Every structure is written in structure tokens, then in C-alpha cells.
Amino acid sequence: MQINTLIDLGWNHFFQSQLDLTELENLLPFRVVNVQRNLIDCIGLNSDYQAEQIQLSTYHWRNEEPEDHPTVGDWLMLDSDFQPVKRLERKTRIQRRAAGHQSYIQMIAANIDTLFITSSCNDDFNLNRIERYLAIAAESHIHCVLVLTKMDLCNDPSVYLDQLKISHPSLSVELVNAIDAESIAGLRQWIASGQTVALVGSSGVGKSTLINGLKGSDDQETASIREHDSKGRHTTTSRSLHLLPQGGLLLDTPGMRELQIVDSAAGINSAFDDINELARGCRFTDCTHHNEPGCTVVDAVEAGRLEPRRLFNYQKLLVEQARNNETLAERRQSDRALGKFYKQAKLSSGRFKKGE
Ligand SMILES: Nc1nc2c(ncn2[C@@H]2O[C@H](COP(=O)(O)OP(=O)(O)OP(=O)(O)O)[C@@H](O)[C@H]2O)c(=O)[nH]1
Ligand SMILES: [Zn+2]
């Protein structure tokens, strides 16, 4: 697609408002489209308003924390020699804390507007996994759309749609055959011009098929951008941020594809706000909703107003999150507590089943 304005690359008021007049006049915003080892590819408009791809070294950020290094989706401000001056604050961020290292945060992607949680209409469909992705997105207030693929291979998609209606009545769901261009056309409503969408989901659900379908066969994004680096060499790298022919951008990196761990309790609590709402009535403020007296969450499960599966998944994600944020020494200590949790959870689920 032709890049005419920065808006085509996802620029908006949030980024512009971080600059003063002098910076606006003298610096060029470039968006990071790929990061490999010590090299960063970014696209922006040069001073003649021509789209240009630049390759930078990460040297400028050598003394900064890993989370402050540029990641795919970031906006960088460059001077007229295409040298980095600063990185703009991120609107949203997907990050991962390296297991066992409380301090090491690795950025996976930045400035995603919408997350396509991809699942197929078969055995891959798993509400717990969908909730895990919802919690990751909630951590950074990223809007989610559930894309259910392989509808053509499924006799009765209503089996899945009905489950979603009960568990997640307000979640937007798109049922598609990822191989069929007409079928995926409806997804475009979620990828408006200047919007950045990322895909997550298990291997084989159809993420690559969707990306290729949305990009279309006439892949002109390479042709319309001049490639240039500081040494004037041309570079060809496969990008992680793709410009779509109708506008909008698709972010696809191995890190996004492997996304598993929910990093913050805030994300989990926000994705399970119904449980938090119920928990306000619990007698104890630190109620774990297992077997404490006066627990309104357990009451809701027993009364059929909350799925036991959903409560268990919430508790499991919180335990996992806490464990991921521990140092190795703390982790050994808490392994015993984790065993206790599973025992307790098993007892509770047995109790719920009896009550059904
Ligand atoms: N019939 C049908 N086949 C599909 C659909 N979506 C994907 N497939 C097929 O499923 C297989 C896997 O699809 P991919 O797009 O490679 O899956 P992926 O999610 O990118 O997998 P990873 O690269 O491992 O993450 C391919 O053979 C696709 O052609 C669909 O909606 N209907
Ligand atoms: Zn409780």
C-alpha cells in the first residue's frame, strides 16, 4: 500500500502529544517494523514526505533496561540524519518477565490496538486458553476480537458460540473460513486505517492463513517504500509489521505467537472483573474463594451464577502469575503451596460437582 501520511503507519494524537514544537519541526517519526539481534528496521516519511525504510543499530539504547529497547510497533524520533533521538511512550505493550528473574522484562510488542484471539472450531477451542489471552490483553487495555476459524470444517459452530455467549457475552466473535477471501472480509471492520492488530493463538489454528488472506496477493508494501540504511545499502528483511492494502497494520512476531504467560495480577483481575465484583461481598478481604466461610464467590458458583471452570481458571492464572514473578529461591519455597492449592481446588471442584 502507498504510505501518504504517518496515520497510515498508526501515528495518532497519543504520540504527537509527546512532542514539543521544536521536536515536531525537526524530528521524523519512524515506526519499528522489525527487530533482529542488534538491528532495528523502521518505516517513516523522510523530509520530502517519501516513505522510507531505515535500518538502525540498537547501540543508542546500550545502557538502557531491556524493556526500554525498541520493540516491534514502537515509534522512534529520528533526526535529519536518521539517527535516533528518542523512543515515544507506548500506548499499549505486550511484555514477558523472564521466569525466575523479577527484574528482567522483555518487550514483545508495542502499540497494538486490537488483538485477534484466534481459535478453531474443533478440539483446539478452549475457554481457559481464550481467558488467558483476554487477561494478557486486559493488562494493557487492548481491545480483543475472537476469531473462530475452520467454520467450513465444523458441522455445528453454535456449540462454540453458545459457550461463548454464556461465559463472555460482550466479546466480539467472528466466525470464518480463513482460506476464503470473502469469509474473512468481515474482519476488516476491526482493522481501520492506522489501527494495529496482532494475532495470537495455538499453532495450526490459521494465523498465517489469515495474515496472507488479509494482505491479499498483490503485496505491494515492499515496492512502495524506498529502503535505505545509514551506509546507503539496500536491505531486505521480512517484516513483523505488515501494511494491509486497505489500510491498517498487522503485527506478527514469533514472540506474539508464543505468548503464554499472564504477567500481572491487574490483567487477570480486569479480565475476571465479574469475580472481583462478587468478591466484594466475601467476609474476608483476602478471601481466596476456596473454602472460607461467608465467601460470596463460592455462593455464586453453588447457585449456578458463576461457572466453576471460570473460577478455577481465575485462581490458576493468579497462582501461575505469582509464581512467574518470584525469584528462583522464592519459587522453591512456594512449590509446596502450589501443591496445596491444587489439592484444595480439587476438593472444591468435587464439592461443586456434588452440588450440580
Ligand atoms: N479448511 C480450513 N483450513 C484452514 C482454515 N484456517 C487454516 N486452515 C489450514 O490449517 C493449516 C494451518 O494453518 P496456519 O495458517 O499455518 O496456522 P498457524 O496458526 O499460522 O500455525 P503456526 O504457524 O504453527 O502458528 C493450513 O493447512 C491451513 O490451510 C480454515 O478456516 N478452514
Ligand atoms: Zn471469597
Last residue of a domain, one of 198, 228, 257: 257
Is 29 close to ligand 1, i.e. is its CB under 6 Å away?
A: no
Lookup: cell for 131? 481467558
Are the C-beta atoms of 108 and 94 separated by less than 8 Å?
Answer: yes
pLDDT of residue 237: 53
Residue 230 within any structural domain of the chain: no
CATH number at residue 276: 1.10.40
pLDDT of residue 262: 78
CA distance 333 to 353: 32
Which residue's CA is the closest to the ligand 1 atom numbered 12? 204
Across the beta sheet with 114-120, the strand order is 172-175, 143-149, 114-120, 196-200, 249-251, 241-243
Residue 351 within any structural domain of the chain: yes
pTM for the model: 0.86
Residue 266 within any structural domain of the chain: no
Residue 215 within any structural domain of the chain: yes
Is 178 close to ligand 1, i.e. is its CB under 6 Å away?
A: yes
Residue 121 within any structural domain of the chain: yes
Residues 295 and 250 in one domain: no
pLDDT of residue 232: 42
Residue 331 within any structural domain of the chain: yes
List the chain pLDDT tens, one digit each, 356 residues: 678 899 999 999 999 999 999 999 999 999 999 998 889 999 999 988 899 999 999 999 999 988 999 999 999 999 999 999 999 999 999 988 776 666 678 889 999 999 999 999 988 899 999 999 999 999 889 999 999 999 999 999 999 999 999 889 899 999 999 999 999 999 999 999 999 999 999 889 999 999 999 998 644 454 456 665 544 444 445 689 999 988 999 999 888 887 877 778 889 999 999 999 999 999 999 999 998 999 999 999 999 999 999 999 999 999 888 887 776 667 677 677 767 767 777 776 666 554 33
Which residues neighbour 240 within 8 Å (Cβ) at sequence distance 6 or greater? 33, 34, 35, 72, 251, 252, 253
Residue 229 within any structural domain of the chain: no
Is 180 close to ligand 1, i.e. is its CB under 6 Å away?
A: no
Residues 139 and 251 in one domain: yes
Distances from the Cα of 211 to the Cα of 54, 96, 160, 180, angstroms: 24, 24, 23, 12
Residues 15 and 68 in one domain: yes
Residues 117 and 97 in one domain: no
Is 202 close to ligand 1, i.e. is its CB under 6 Å away?
A: no
Are the C-beta atoms of 46 and 52 separated by less than 8 Å?
Answer: yes
Last residue of a domain, one of 228, 257, 286: 257
pLDDT of residue 263: 78
Whether residue 206 is annotated as binding a ligand: the answer is yes
Residues 61 and 10 in one domain: yes
Can you give the length of the chain in residues? Answer: 356
Is 179 close to ligand 1, i.e. is its CB under 6 Å away?
A: yes
Is 17 close to ligand 1, i.e. is its CB under 6 Å away?
A: no
CB atoms within 10 A of CB 291: 11
Which residue's CA is the closest to the ligand 1 atom numbered 25? 203
Burial (0-12, 13-18, 19+ Cβ within 10 Å), 218: exposed
Q: Is the ipTM of this complex over 0.95?
A: yes
Alpha carbon dihedral 80, 83, 87, 88, in 10-degree steps, equals 10
Which residues neighbour 223 within 8 Å (Cβ) at sequence distance 6 or greater? none
The boundaries of the domain holding residue 192 are 110-219+238-257
Whether residue 114 is annotated as binding a ligand: the answer is no
Q: Is 223 helix (H, G, I), strand (E, B) or coil?
A: coil
Q: Which ligand is nearest to the CA of 187?
A: 1
CA distance 185 to 154: 20
pLDDT of residue 135: 93
Residues 153 and 205 in one domain: yes
pLDDT of residue 314: 94
Whether residue 222 is annotated as binding a ligand: the answer is no
DSSP 8-class letter at 349: H
pLDDT of residue 327: 67
Last residue of a domain, one of 66, 81, 107: 107
Whether residue 149 is annotated as binding a ligand: the answer is yes
Is 257 close to ligand 1, i.e. is its CB under 6 Å away?
A: yes
- Residue 355's closest CA among 295, 289, 291, 301? 301
Which residue's CA is the closest to the ligand 1 atom numbered 3? 150
Output the CA 177–ligand 1 centroid distance in Å.
Answer: 10
Whether residue 150 is annotated as binding a ligand: the answer is yes
Helices 308-324 and 127-139, axial angle in degrees (round to 10): 50
Output the CA 163–ligand 2 centroid distance in Å.
Answer: 25
To which residue does cell 489469515 refer? 210
Residues 115 and 252 in one domain: yes
Output the CA 303–ligand 1 centroid distance in Å.
Answer: 40
Whether residue 1 is annotated as binding a ligand: the answer is no
Side-chain-side CA neighbours of residue 128 (13 Å)? 12
Residues 24 and 68 in one domain: yes
Output the CA 332–ligand 2 centroid distance in Å.
Answer: 27
- Residue 215's closest CA among 187, 237, 254? 187
Which residue's CA is the closest to the ligand 1 atom numbered 2? 150
The DSSP H or E segment spanning 105 is strand 105-110
**Looking at the 3D structure of the chain, how many domains does it have?**
3
Output the CA 291–ligand 2 centroid distance in Å.
Answer: 8
Residues 118 and 251 in one domain: yes
The DSSP H or E segment spanning 95 is strand 93-97
CATH number at residue 86: 2.40.50
Residues 101 and 116 in one domain: no
Residue 86 within any structural domain of the chain: yes
Residues 251 and 341 in one domain: no
Residues 122 and 208 in one domain: yes
Whether residue 213 is annotated as binding a ligand: the answer is no
